[in-house]
Amino acid sequence: MTVRLRAATRDDVPVIAELIRGLARYEKLEDHVEMTEELLAAGLFGERPYAEVVLAEEDGVALGFALFFHNFSTFLGRPGIYLEDLFVLPEHRGLGIGRMLLAHLARLAVERGCGRLEWAVLDWNRDAIGFYESLGARPNSEWTVYRLTGEALTGLARQ
């Protein structure tokens, strides 16, 4: 098996959207997906791109992806990379594709002068947690993530 990694282009939006749907199915969160291909194209390849995608392919067929963006650490005084999504199709897991994608992001982080690479994982996803810990990643259990969405977000924005 020869897997190739490459940066996604606008033409890849339908493939990225399908991979995101696959991730949502795996995480049992399909009913939370509001993404459309139009929103995805605008967010990834519009006037102001908000994130980047790396695709893992074999013979031009997508097997997985990583979607990430930069954040910034005031304590480090440096940017970081936040991995929003990492997904490998179930039939291709265990072949090192996830490791390839994360190693690629680690190289990008180092090349771009980033101080860290971080992500979140669902607490029930023991396979993913074991995989991440095998790479040397450690949970940051001192912090609790908060989120504003929907009416709470728009309500605060109106204040």
pLDDT digits (tens, 9 = 90+) for 55-81: 999 999 999 999 999 999 999 999 999
Number of other CB atoms surrounding residue 68 within 10 Å: 23
For residue 35 the two structure tokens come to 């993404």
Structural domain 4-157, CATH architecture: 3-Layer(aba) Sandwich (3.40)
Instruction: Read off the amino acid at residue 97.
Output: I
Instruction: Please identify every residue annotated as catalytic.
Output: 132
Domain boundaries, the chain: 4-157
Give the contacts of 107 (CB within 8 A, at least 6 positions apart): none
State pTM to two decimals.
Answer: 0.94
DSSP code, position 46: S
78-88 and 117-119: which strand pairing? parallel
C-alpha 113, offset from chain centre? 19
